[in-house]
Structure 1
Amino acid sequence: PFAPFLYTLANDGASIINPAVLKEHAADDARGFLAQNTAGSGPFMLKSWQKGQQLVLVPNPHYPGNKPNFKRVSVKIIGESASRRLQLSRGDIDIADALPVDQLNALKQENKVNVAEYPSLRVTYLYLNNSKAPLNQADLRRAISWSTDYQGMVNGILSGNGKQMRGPIPEGMWGYDATAMQYNHDETKAKAEWDKVTSKPTSLTFLYSDNDPNWEPIA
């Protein structure tokens, strides 16, 4: 049994797809077909798609649940976060997704949009490759964990709009453990762990995605 099964189905990466359509285009597990088409079961269906520009959704007449209130939903692809913020401020769009903190602060100053703040389940992890030297040394990983300035990143990069996680599951999500062990910025403990490292590296390679503007200042 997989305990989070129902929860997983509610995520876009595991949404239910019509099996008959998959079998019809099963040459590559329907990857090629699904890259250009949809075969979902939700309240909306795809009417048109301009790649890299816009998607238009309309109500799905075959949806068995309550009918959606909107007759049409337009999803615009706007790469620049500043452009998303400006269009939201002008009233050209109703919702802007994934605005970085600096753009949210700009919105607050404009006083044209009501910025509501509330806890979210968005998380950011720093993954350590513990199967490869030098990070296969537990002492080194602990030294990194104790030396990381968690609150400094929250305050300096996120302008206080965030909190350090306690364990791998964020507060508010099923499975969260409020008693889980939590590292903090402690240079004394970091040095003690560093002194135990057998093979001390002179540098580490940090790979990050440019999709999130917060990663570069963290690096």
Structure 2
Amino acid sequence: MNIVFPTLRNGLFGAILALSPMLAAQAKTPADQLIVGMSMVNLFSIDPANAPGLDASGINANLYDTLVKRDNGNPERHVPQLAESWTVSEDGKQITFKLRSDVKFHSGNPLTAEDVAWSLYRVMKLNFGLATTWKAYGYNLDNIQASIRATDAHTLVIDLPQPTDPLLVIDSLAISPSAVVVDRKQALQHEKNGDLGAAWLVTNEAGSGPFTLSKWSANDSLVMTRFDGYWAGPAKMKRVLVRHMTESQSLRLMLERGDLDLAYGMAAPDIKAIERSDALQVQALQRGTMYYVAMSMKQPEFAKQQVREAVRNLIDYQGIDQQVMPHYGTLNQQPMQLGLAARLPDPGYTMDVAKAKALLAEAGYPNGFNTTIRILSEPPFIDIAARMQATLAEGGIKATIVTGTGNQVYGAMRARNFEMIVARGAERYPHPYFSLRTFVYNPDNSDAAGLPNFQGWRASFFNQQLNELIDRAGVERDADQRLKLYHQAQTLYDKQVGPIMMISQMTDTAVSAADVKGFTGDDAEATRYLGVYKQR
């Protein structure tokens, strides 16, 4: 297998040595501390305006709060958080939130509606990828301060600048990583050259959540400490310590020795080996996030539909699902989450080498061509890529695998500077509109548009008819007509052989010690440790 390694992977011995001597010597972790092992390779920023990854979302869910939260993961029902109540005007053009009056930030500053409005303005002003969520609703730097405003300390008014289902906006306020509320005064105290505190917030926080950030060393460890003044009552654990561990065997060993309480990202063989252990418990967390293969249509080969279709015929979907993805994901070939009423059945793609070769010859590549596949240097990405490398070769496409950190891999894709990539990404939240906007929508295909939150833009895929179908679905109030629009969009994307090809829907398996109670993974990878405790 031809693989380029820009960075070395941590070995088992190195991961064990990375644990502090105190933890390594104990048979059990401290009763009031939660010790978590997981890969932090894709955790490069926790700034809410620029932290789209799953790892950052999981951390920020404990450091910050949102106005509302989904009720048991349902995108059409929400429960109060910072907002005690909200109303939608009869014409559907305005949402008014009434905020709690007893919330304080970790700094001691009171949380006000002005902080909420400023937090969303900040996202638009900095204009990182997460601003795309709000641009989709018609917000821009010129109108956001007038459209999202505090009318008093505890009242927030949101005007919708274009026809939009207000429920979509409420849902975005519940689940978007950019919707958390930032302490305006604290952030501006650390402002440099008009950056609204951006440089400081990469590695610091200004939230009101149940934990404060005590320490973060990139690719090493992160410590969160209980915030005793939390408005919903203090967390049960005094501290949460997250250790960077990429090797599944290391995670398993630390769990079995009692040096870890909770682990994410374990490989299937290690999970199977401990499933019957009385000392450990396994929890499968169904996510909305997708594993996918993407091709850049900036590359002349992948700009041709025949080549993209050839690649689609050189992916061993069933083999990957059965041999690589157990405990990682479930087969899904649509750009929409499983279980949604708007989702069409899988198209039934299968591997067909003869058809792929014929398509490549038709496209002018009878002998194939060379390319690269970027991946994170951890399972299941490296296993998917290795399998793809072999099956692509059967059709004549010779792929070199390039591994790297999250910044190296996803950064290249966000910059539209890649050939192929095996990745995992949004849309994390189960909603047909958000799924299609994230994976196949692209309002402006120019480099200058800078729309990295749209996977379609990253892959340089643009189809105006598809955009219009999705736009119409976003404002359509009739449920039957909306369903038809979603079906038409999926069918059109299939015919266009879009460059982002879904492989699997993520299953996040968490393994914990049997005495860890109150842990439930959130549908948006925003697991909160507020109610977690140890029964000893």
The interval holding the TM-score normalised by the smaller chain is 0.7 to 0.9
Tell me the residue number matched to 2:381.
214
Does structure 1 retain, via aligned residues, the 8 Å contact 2:268–2:326? Answer: yes
Any residues of structure 2 matched to 1:6-155 within 5 Å, and which? 6-7=171-172, 10=175, 12=177, 15-27=180-192, 28-49=195-216, 52-108=219-275, 112-117=279-284, 119-155=286-322
Work out the CA distance in 1 between the residues paired with 2:249 and 2:275: 14
The alignment's C-alpha RMSD in Å is 3.2
Structure 1 residue 180: Cα displacement: 6.0
Residue 77 to residue 202, structure 1, CA distance change in 2 (3 Å): closer
Tell me the residue number matched to 2:347.
182
Structure 1 residue 186: Cα displacement: 4.4
The one-character-per-residue Cα deviations of 1:150-196 (angstroms, maximum 9, x if unpaired) are: 01111122347532223223225xx7742166351141654554453
Does structure 1 retain, via aligned residues, the 8 Å contact 2:336–2:343? Answer: no
Select between 137-146 and 3-12 the one with higher mean Cα deviation. Answer: 3-12
Select between 80-89 and 1-10 the one with higher mean Cα deviation. Answer: 1-10
Residue 105 to residue 42, structure 1, CA distance change in 2 (3 Å): same
Work out the CA distance in 2 between the residues paired with 1:17 and 1:54: 23
The one-character-per-residue Cα deviations of 1:55-82 (angstroms, maximum 9, x if unpaired) are: 3322224433343232322222334332
Residue 29 to residue 132, structure 1, CA distance change in 2 (3 Å): farther
Select between 140-149 and 40-49 the one with higher mean Cα deviation. Answer: 40-49
Q: Which sections of structure 1, spanning at least 5 residues, go unmatched?
A: none
Normalised TM-score (structure 2)? 0.36
Structure 1 residue 105: Cα displacement: 2.6
Residue 207 to residue 55, structure 1, CA distance change in 2 (3 Å): closer
The one-character-per-residue Cα deviations of 1:80-104 (angstroms, maximum 9, x if unpaired) are: 3321111112222111011122322
Work out the CA distance in 2 between the residues paired with 1:93 and 1:46: 20
Does structure 2 retain, via aligned residues, the 8 Å contact 1:166–1:177? Answer: no
Does structure 1 retain, via aligned residues, the 8 Å contact 2:332–2:346? Answer: no
The one-character-per-residue Cα deviations of 1:109-165 (angstroms, maximum 9, x if unpaired) are: 766423344533342111110122110001110121133110111112234753222
Counterpart amino acid of 1:107? I
Work out the CA distance in 2 between the residues paired with 1:114 and 1:148: 34
Residue 177 to residue 90, structure 1, CA distance change in 2 (3 Å): farther
Structure 1 residue 29: Cα displacement: 4.4
Does structure 2 retain, via aligned residues, the 8 Å contact 1:16–1:40? Answer: yes
Structure 1 residue 199: Cα displacement: 4.8
The one-character-per-residue Cα deviations of 1:2-60 (angstroms, maximum 9, x if unpaired) are: 73664465355664322223322232443431233211221111234455443332222
More strand by percentage: 2
Work out the CA distance in 2 between the residues paired with 1:98 and 1:161: 8
Matched, 1:197 2:366: no
Does structure 1 retain, via aligned residues, the 8 Å contact 2:328–2:380? Answer: no
Counterpart secondary structure, 1:170? coil
Counterpart amino acid of 1:140? V
Select between 76-85 and 196-205 the one with higher mean Cα deviation. Answer: 196-205
Identity %: 23
Work out the CA distance in 2 between the residues paired with 1:65 and 1:24: 27
Residue 53 to residue 125, structure 1, CA distance change in 2 (3 Å): same
Work out the CA distance in 2 between the residues paired with 1:106 and 1:9: 37
Work out the CA distance in 2 between the residues paired with 1:134 and 1:89: 49
